[in-house]
Structure 1
Amino acid sequence: MLKSLIVEDTIGVKVHCRNWEDAIKAGTSLLINKNIITQAYEDAIFKNFAELGPYMVIAPGIVLSHARPENSVKTLSMSLVTLEKPIEFGSECNDPVELIITLAAIDSNSHIAALKDLMDLFMNAKDLTTILKASSKQKILDVINKY
């Protein structure tokens, strides 16, 4: 499931970002450019951060940015962005962040299998390290295609 959602056009490698807002935009812009989400979805992600804090920093160094499915998602998809330099998101336990996954879910259920695959990936230290150190989209895809 994961390999059908994270594809070459939805991957950013070693992206330069000045702050957490830039990092979120790096992930959402890949999806906006493919007409998978609209600007309203990105706005909803920022609203969630403003209201709820950095709860999307789900593990050390990893953000899973998302909003409700009704917030302008056209197709189930994900983007994956590695950062050139780690960035603080305001999470006491899990900062700094170096990997941004943006989930674009069309409903409350269709993405569950993909999240399971994503969690399996995060639990595999070797594969996660390979993604974080990758210098090309193909190296990332080589890992993603295993899931």
Structure 2
Amino acid sequence: MATDLEEFLPDSAFLIDKEAQDWRDAIRLAGKGLADSGFTTDAYTDEMIATVEKMGPYIVIAPGLALAHSRPSDAVLHTGLSWVRLSKAVPFGNKANDPVSLVIGLAGRDENEHLQVMSAIARALSNPQTSSELRKAATPEEIRAILKR
């Protein structure tokens, strides 16, 4: 991914085994990780939810996995990621890939950084073995180590 994963995915960006009532709650958790890490303002969370309301659940990119994001905006302070593993999967409305238990929040400061980070995540998660390991990893350190491979 990036040269220094900790820059894009600090400990404060992880919310492991959290409960969400629905997909909006799950995205709010991803937004909390982004905001707590200084990547976004709370307004970006609302933008991510609005994107799904407008475009549908296209952010569910693989079975059980959503990549929550919105367009670069003034609400994005720095490019970064958040990592939310839900204790109980929730439906997002994507028949092929529901329910979702892993939500990765993505904030890109500009289109180029947004696409770079998004494609790096997609590459890492396209490997079924890696994806399976990421779902089981217990700590931020373990998750970053798997992503760095």
Deviations 1:18-74 (A, max 9, x none): 211111111110111222211211111111111121111112111111111114100
Which of 29, 35, 38 aligns to 2:38? It is 35
Measure, in 1, the Cα distance between the counterparts of 2:13 and 2:48: 17
The TM-score, its normalising length taken from structure 2, stands at: 0.89
Measure, in 1, the Cα distance between the counterparts of 2:92 and 2:67: 12
User: 1:1-147 residue pairs with structure 2 within 5 A?
Assistant: 1=2, 3=5, 4-146=7-149
Name the structure, 1 or 2, with higher relative contact order (CA <8 Å, separation 6+): 1
* Percent of aligned positions that are identical: 29
Q: Tell me, what secondary structure is at the counterpart of 1:109?
A: helix
Q: CA RMSD in A?
A: 1.5
The TM-score, its normalising length taken from structure 1, stands at: 0.91
Q: Tell me, what secondary structure is at the counterpart of 1:29?
A: helix
Structure 1 consecutive aligned stretches of length 4 or more whose deviation exceeds 3 Å: none
Which one-letter code corresponds to 1:44 in the other structure? Answer: E
Which shifted more, 76-85 or 113-122? 113-122
Measure, in 1, the Cα distance between the counterparts of 2:36 and 2:142: 22
Unaligned runs of 5+ residues in structure 1 are none
Q: Are the structure 2 counterparts of residues 6 and 34 from structure 1 closer, same or farther at C-alpha, using a change threshold of 3 Å?
A: closer
Unaligned runs of 5+ residues in structure 2 are none
